[in-house]
Amino acid sequence: MRLAPEPSAHRLRLIVLFLVLLAGVTTSPVLSTGCPDRCVCDDQLVVQCAGQHLTTFPVNLPLATRQLIISNNRIVELPPLALNYLSDLVYLDCSNNSLTEISESTFGNLRKLAYLDLSFNTLTRIEDRTFGPLASMVMLRMTDNPGLSHIHPDAFAENAALQVLDVSRNNLTTLNITSLIALPALRSVDLSGNPWSCDCDNEDLCLWVHLEDEGQTVCGSPADLQGSRLGEVGIELRALCHQTLGSWDYLFFVLIGFAIFAAGTVSAWVMGVIMVLYERYIKKKDQQVDPDEEGEIYRYNTHMNTYLSFRSLLIRK
């Protein structure tokens, strides 16, 4: 799955190797005189231990090692103490071993590590902050772990430099994409070959992915969607998952209705009180007459009565 136009994974790997070689030429700590048994150490700070039937992590590694290849062995554990002495490590290939577990402490001091390959192992879970210390990691390959069924939502939250993530051909059914969306440098994510569950819990994932033409990222369940591409079922899931209302939705509408009713009732009562008070004020004001005006009215009425009496007398005569 590609999120944006980006250089191929092969090209990125060549860039990482170039950085490793360049780092080996620059000033660095002096190599230790020893080299692990059944491994080859060269003057470019590369330790090659691939395919040596190792069952434990190699010891007596040069502290200045920049590139460590321990692939195609039977190593079951990456000891944090031994590994974290290699603070200058840039490239680590642990593929095709028997690793069952890794934790945050495993890579605690590998802040320069740019490339990590954990493919073809027996990992089952990736916990929170497993890759947190790897601030410089550009490429992570974690494919073909048949038992890998859970990746913590914040497993990649602190890997701001991550550009390529490959978790294909595992046993993942769900994946929280919150931390992946927030990664500013992420360019390529391969999710193919997993038995994804295309239900409402995976709605965000289905809507987010942009698939390549091969269509290898497909639903593993439910049965009626099995084999369908995640990108195609995303819109269907949005319509399906938001078609019915849950109990919390109904409760929300009831509370909103009650709040509107209460607000209307209180508003009507307040307006009624205001109108009654206003009418009383107007009546009281009309009843209060100014004393000067009352005197004028009295004099006017007196004159009018005198005039009317005098006129009536004239008429009689």
Mean pLDDT of 80-98: 94
Q: Where are the beta strands (DSSP E) in the chain?
A: 40-41, 46-48, 67-69, 91-93, 115-117, 125-126, 139-141, 150-151, 164-166, 188-190, 196-197, 219-221
Distance CA 26, CA 312 (A): 134
Which helix (H) or strand (E) segment holds residue 251: the answer is: helix 247-287
Residue 25's pLDDT band, with cuts at 50, 70 and 90, is: very low
The sign of the CA dihedral 102, 117, 161, 28 is positive
pLDDT of residue 26: 39
pLDDT of residue 293: 57
Contacts of 119 (CB under 8 A, 6+ apart): 95, 96, 141, 142, 143, 144, 145, 166
Mean pLDDT of 220-240: 81
Backbone angles phi, psi at 219, to 5 degrees: -75, 140
pLDDT of residue 31: 39
Least confident window among 41-50, 121-130, 276-285, 296-305: 296-305
pLDDT of residue 314: 65
Which DSSP string do the residues of 18-69 spell out, in sequence order?
A: HHHHHHHHSS-PPPPS---TT-EE-TTSEEE-TTS--SS---S--TT--EEE
Contact (CB, 8 A) for 60 and 39: no
192 token code pair: 């193919």
pLDDT of residue 294: 58
Least confident window among 12-26, 147-161, 202-216: 12-26
pLDDT of residue 110: 94
pLDDT at residue 93 tops 90: yes
* Model pLDDT for residues 28-58, shown as the tens digit of each residue: 333 355 799 999 998 889 999 999 999 999 9
Give the residue from 209, 214, 188, 189 showing the smallest Cα distance to 198. Answer: 209
Contact (CB, 8 A) for 106 and 81: no
Contact (CB, 8 A) for 123 and 146: no
Architecture of domain 9-194 in this structure: Alpha-Beta Horseshoe (3.80)
pLDDT of residue 6: 47
Least confident window among 36-45, 230-239, 250-259, 296-305: 296-305
Mean pLDDT of 179-208: 88
pLDDT at residue 286 tops 80: no
pLDDT of residue 14: 54
Q: Which residue pairs from 226-229 have beta carbons closer than 8 angstroms and sit at least 24 positions apart in sequence?
A: 228/198
pLDDT of residue 213: 41
Burial per residue of 70-101, b for 16 or more beta-carbon CB atoms within 10 angstroms, e otherwise: bbbbebeebebeebbebebbbbbbbbbbebeb
Contacts of 47 (CB under 8 A, 6+ apart): 35, 36, 39, 40, 41, 58, 61, 62, 65, 67, 68, 69
pLDDT of residue 208: 83
Least confident window among 21-25, 127-131, 169-173: 21-25
> Which DSSP state fits 126?
E
pLDDT of residue 28: 38
pLDDT at residue 241 tops 60: yes
142 token code pair: 């974690």
> Mean pLDDT of all residues in the chain?
82
pLDDT of residue 246: 66
* Model pLDDT for residues 130-142, shown as the tens digit of each residue: 999 999 999 999 9
User: What does the radius of gyration of the chain's CA atoms come to, in whole angstroms?
Assistant: 41
pLDDT of residue 317: 57
43 token code pair: 């003057």
> Which DSSP state fits 97?
S
pLDDT at residue 225 tops 60: yes
Distance CA 170, CA 33 (A): 40
Kindly report the pTM of this predicted structure: 0.68
Contact (CB, 8 A) for 211 and 184: no
* Model pLDDT for residues 210-221, shown as the tens digit of each residue: 544 456 788 998
